[in-house]
Amino acid sequence: MNETSQILREKNIKVTPQRLSVYMAFNGKGHLSADEVYQKARKKVPAISLGTVYSILENFKINDIISEIKIDFDKSLYELKEGIHHHFLCRKCKKILDVEMPVCNVLKNCAVEGHSIEDFQGYFYGICRDCQKDAK
């Protein structure tokens, strides 16, 4: 039994070639659109449809395997859920970067104004380091 099957089984998700191919598409890192996941998954399971990819992504999301990133309003991106980080979208080169931020009191207590926080994502927009250099 390989590692991916193990991860799915731990979440009580039935292991199928389709699900494995979607998981493998992430290859441990990166932010992918559903279409990119589909293109990659299709190389392993040619019969997979985009609809199937969407429903697998939805299933993985509910089971905390991946998170959906909506930093780009035109399309959702997905990534494997690993560690807490936020995202920065460069308005110039359109790159999406992972950013770490020191944990503030709100997040330490997992509460804000009496509401308890279960999940959060920070989206930042601006000009990335590389593009700032190019501008000089």
Query: What is the binding site for Zn ion (CB under 5 A)?
Result: 79, 90, 92-93, 98, 128, 131
**Nearest approach, Cβ of 27 to Zn ion (angstroms)?**
14
C-alpha–C-alpha distance, residues 21 and 41, integer Å: 5
User: Which is nearer to Zn ion, 107 or 131 (by Cβ)?
Assistant: 131
C-alpha–C-alpha distance, residues 53 and 22, integer Å: 7
C-alpha–C-alpha distance, residues 134 and 54, integer Å: 38
User: Which is nearer to Zn ion, 93 or 112 (by Cβ)?
Assistant: 93
**Nearest approach, Cβ of 18 to Zn ion (angstroms)?**
24
**Nearest approach, Cβ of 114 to Zn ion (angstroms)?**
29
User: Which is nearer to Zn ion, 40 or 68 (by Cβ)?
Assistant: 68
**Nearest approach, Cβ of 103 to Zn ion (angstroms)?**
17
User: Which is nearer to Zn ion, 43 or 92 (by Cβ)?
Assistant: 92
